[in-house]
Structure 1
Amino acid sequence: MAGLLATATMVVHFAALLYIGLGGFLAWRWPKSLFVHVFFAAWGVIVNVTSLPCPLTALENHFRAQQGLGDLPGGFNEYYVFGSIIPDGYVSVVAIVAVVLLLISYVGAYLRWRHRKSPLAAAAG
């Protein structure tokens, strides 16, 4: 059972990473989701630039320990992402692209929100 729970935690962790990277675009359709995304994005930044542990990594490590396995070597990103999904040497490029996507998603969400609030949009709708 611990193996299944560790795998499920890994899948949720990947989903969280996708949401952190691309979830701002959901606010184009559902503007209030931006508040949830800001929390996730801030959490992602804090976990990656400080020594604060990610609770999902801690949970997966807990389930791994129940299987007699050690902690993820280097943490979630180092074990699953860096070198496997993101080739070595491209981490900085991917980080810059992620920040650009985040900014585009937030600017787009703001422009769509502003358009919905404008008197011309209300009259046309």
Structure 2
Amino acid sequence: MMYRLIADAAMVVHFAFLAYLALGGFIAWRWRRTIWTHLAVVGWGLISIVTGVDCPLTYVEDWARRQAGLEGLPPTGFIDHYLEGVVYPEAYTNVARLAVAVVVLFSYVGYVLRRQ
């Protein structure tokens, strides 16, 4: 039971991380100091996309699922398991990434304009 809770918690935190990656720049409009945290999150997202390195939360969830006797995450990882083919078709992965990038850039432009 405890391993299942760890797996579920890792999944929820992972989704929250992805939501913050996409929308955290808007949070910085109100709380300016959070821009540094958001820049770090976006940096990690870029590193993950460019290098193919999985997020540590993926490893935690996969480990906990296996310890709970459940099927682990596929080798392709968290996003492929929960988002691709579920939220958007797999063929539109690059479109989804571009959409997130546009949202992040828009939030940064707004952040800069609001600071002036």
Report if TM-score (shorter chain) is over 0.5.
yes
Select between 41-50 and 86-95 the one with higher mean Cα deviation.
86-95
Residues of 1 paired with 2:42 and 2:26: CA distance?
13
Q: CA deviation at 1:70?
A: 4.6
Select between 90-99 and 36-45 the one with higher mean Cα deviation.
90-99
Identity of aligned residues (%): 46
Residues of 2 paired with 1:52 and 1:95: CA distance?
16
CA RMSD of aligned residues (A): 1.2
Deviations 1:72-111 (A, max 9, x none): 1010001011000112322121111111111110010011
Residues of 1 paired with 2:3 and 2:85: CA distance?
26
Please identify the structure whose Cα radius of gyration is greater: 1
Could you say if the C-alpha distance between residues 51 and 90 of structure 1 is closer, same or farther in structure 2, counting changes exceeding 3 Å? closer
Q: CA deviation at 1:71?
A: 3.3
- 1:93 aligns with 95
TM-score, scaled to structure 1: 0.85
> Tell me, what secondary structure is at the counterpart of 1:7?
helix
Deviations 1:37-58 (A, max 9, x none): 0000110111122132211001
Report runs of 4+ in structure 1 exceeding 6 Å deviation: none
| Unaligned stretches of 5+ residues in structure 1 | 115-125
- 1:120 aligns with none
Select between 10-19 and 51-60 the one with higher mean Cα deviation.
51-60
- 2:45 aligns with 44
Structure 2 residue corresponding to 1:103, chosen from 102, 105, 108:
105
TM-score, scaled to structure 2: 0.91
- 1:35 aligns with 36
| Residues 3 and 67 in structure 2, CA contact (< 8 A), matched pair in contact too | yes
- 1:68 aligns with 69
